Amino acid sequence: MDAFATDSWANFLVAETGAAAALSGLLFVAVSINLARVLAYPVLASRAAESLALLIGGMVLCSLGLVPAQPRWALGGEYLLGGATMWVFASLHRLMKPRPAGADRIWKRIVPLLLGQAATLPIIVAGALLIAGNAGGFYWFAAGVVFAFLAAALNAWVLLVEIMR
């Protein structure tokens, strides 16, 4: 088997595509239910956008990994570009926000920022490795997708539960 064939990754890619699509739909519903509260706090609207970007980005990139007989450099380029786009959504709004006062507020800012980086940077690395001919990029991609789900889940928790406090 070709070292770059995604056949051995097909089950993972199919599962992640379906999970990302389902979670994206649930997030749309959650935001719709709490829309007035979400819009009352601009930070929450940007967290919802970040979550959707991570989930939809993961869904699209996993779907692209299922394209048969795709050259490794093409898949690597898609992962590199997709990961960079996800990084923009996961990072810029957090870096542009005013700094919170107090140590507890700083912690609440650092953890989501780090999760966003853990979700997107491995996907960028995966793309670069695949372009360079290293099949290990698939493992980096898997790590990025898992962290994207964790970051989206944390944001969804804030949008569904913490918003009601």
101 in a structural domain: yes
68 in a structural domain: yes
* pLDDT score at 79: 98
Which parts of the chain sit beneath pLDDT 50?
1-3
Structure tokens at 105: 């507020």
Domain with 83 in it = 7-164
> What radius of gyration do the chain's Cα atoms show?
17
121 in a structural domain: yes
Q: Is the pTM value of this prediction over 0.75?
A: yes
104 in a structural domain: yes
45 in a structural domain: yes
Structure tokens at 3: 């070292």
**Number of domains composing the chain:** 1
CA-to-CA distance for 143 and 149, rounded, in angstroms?
10
18 in a structural domain: yes
Q: Residues 140, 122: contact at Cβ < 8 Å?
A: yes
* pLDDT score at 99: 58
CA-to-CA distance for 10 and 70, rounded, in angstroms?
13
* pLDDT score at 161: 77
* pLDDT score at 104: 61
Cα→Cα distances 45→3, 29, 119, Å: 42, 14, 20
* pLDDT score at 1: 37
